[in-house]
Homo-oligomer: A and B are copies of this chain.
Amino acid sequence: MGKNFIVGQSGGPTAVINASLAGVAAAALAHIRSTGSGTVYGMQHGIQGFARGEVVDLGAQLDTEAAIALLKTTPAAALGSCRRRLPAAADEPQVYEDIFRRLQQLDIGCFLYIGGNDSMDTIQKLHDWGAAHGSDIRFVGVPKTIDNDLAMTDHTPGYGSAARYIATVMKELLCDSLVYDEKRVTVVEIMGRNAGWLAGAAALAADEECAGPDLLYLPETPFDVEDFVRRVDALQQKRKSVVVAISEGIRLDDGRYVCELSNTSASVDVFGHRQLSGAASTLSAILNSRLGAKCRAVELSTMQRCAAHLAAGADVEEAFAAGAAGVKAALAGESGCMVTLVRSSTDPYVCECATADIHAIANAEKTVPLAWIDTENATVTKEFLDYARPLILGENAVVWANGIPKHFVVK
């Protein structure tokens, strides 16, 4: 087996994908120190950059505890990312021949890839090619996605921090929404095209001093515009400020996205450019025209995946542990697998790393169980809250300098 490690990041960034990178580097460097030889390479822009030879010596940059600690609190993908899916090996074998030649040149023994669904597809294809061609390189995936939609794992690193961001900002927005003694509706749009894990986190804003959002809609169940308008109208008879949280991916019964309702050919601006509106601004426009309600659409936008200043301490540590567990699994001879998080207890919260066959994970998508969605009251159930609450706990050890957070930059 080759003596070196290589690690890459792929797919959309999260607040803690670099914590997993730090975990991979720390565990690999510890192994290298114990054996006396080897290094940790980083591929830039994932498998896409690797195929162009974009490799850095990560070990040399992460050889101090301070560097590891700073990387742990840095958002986005420090190595750069990509959205490349590898072609089927049968279609383009030369792609695989090229990748494996490069891996051999670098004397790679363990290949770690931190990412979501598409990234696990990459691990699966590389493992399968290697296994079919006598390679002894171990390919191990480390889970990452704010969407929490990976199969075979209790949850994914990255979700807890995004959920903490959503719950915290939702509580602050609810606080803000109550200040004026006037009728208004606030519609908050949350990421998650097909899975409502993130939108559901808005309900975590509720506590003894905050009622949480008045209505909450996940993409798993059909969205009924008429019912929605009626509910908001009824709520406004009782209280002046109504706050609604929705997934960006909510759809009508006929399968159309809600945002498609306003993105018609009639919505063309002065440049002849079609205006794209989100689901929140679409619903705001509907409420305004139907109820005359004063509406405000708030998109939590990219901040959901990069607000490391609000990352959950629990999530940062699990992301770090998942990276280290990936190295441990590879060193133990595992390949074609992904690190999983296995929860044995929710109260007290106990969760440990394990691994699962990559073939059961790649390209699968885990959505919120319908039993956890309370469509009657437009919210999520206690089961959802009990599941998600432990994942948002704890503060991130952000290093502040001059009023802004310090970040680690890979050179």
Contacts and interface: CB of A to CB of B under 8 A. Distances in A.
Interface of A: 9, 13, 45, 48-49, 74-77, 80-83, 164, 167-169, 171-173, 175-176, 178-181, 186, 204-205, 207, 209-210, 261-264, 266-273, 275, 277, 281-282, 285-286, 288-290, 296, 298-299, 301-303, 305-310, 312, 389, 392-395, 400-407, 409
Given A288-B273, A403-B312, A76 B393 contact: no
A367 to B, nearest CB: 23
Nearest to A409: B209
User: For chain A, what secondary structure do more than half of its interface residues adopt (helix, strand, loop), or is it mixed?
Assistant: mixed
A197 B374 CA distance: 44
A276 to B, nearest CB: 8
B404 A400 contact: no
Contacts of A83: 180
Top 4 closest pairs, chain A to chain B, by CB: A392-B403, A262-B269, A176-B306, A81-B179
Nearest to A12: B179
Contacts of A285: 269, 271, 273, 275
A303 B204 CA distance: 18
B268 A266 contact: yes
A281 B267 CA distance: 13
A59 to B, nearest CB: 20
A207 B393 CA distance: 30
Contact of A172 (B77, B178, B204, B306): B306
A285 B310 CA distance: 31
A265 B361 CA distance: 49
A115 to B, nearest CB: 12
Contact of A168 (B9, B169, B275, B309): B309
Contacts of A301: 298-299
Of the listed residues A167, A179, A298, A401, the one surrounded by the most CB atoms of chain B closer than 10 A to its CB is: A179
Given A266-B268, A269-B277, A171 B405 contact: yes
Contacts of A282: 269
A269 B272 contact: no
Contact of A302 (B289, B298, B405): B298
Contacts of A48: 181
A178 B76 CA distance: 8
B404 A173 contact: no
B303 A169 contact: yes
A274 to B, nearest CB: 8
Of the listed residues A9, A171, A270, the one surrounded by the most CB atoms of chain B closer than 10 A to its CB is: A270
A318 to B, nearest CB: 14
A179 B77 contact: yes
A259 B116 CA distance: 37
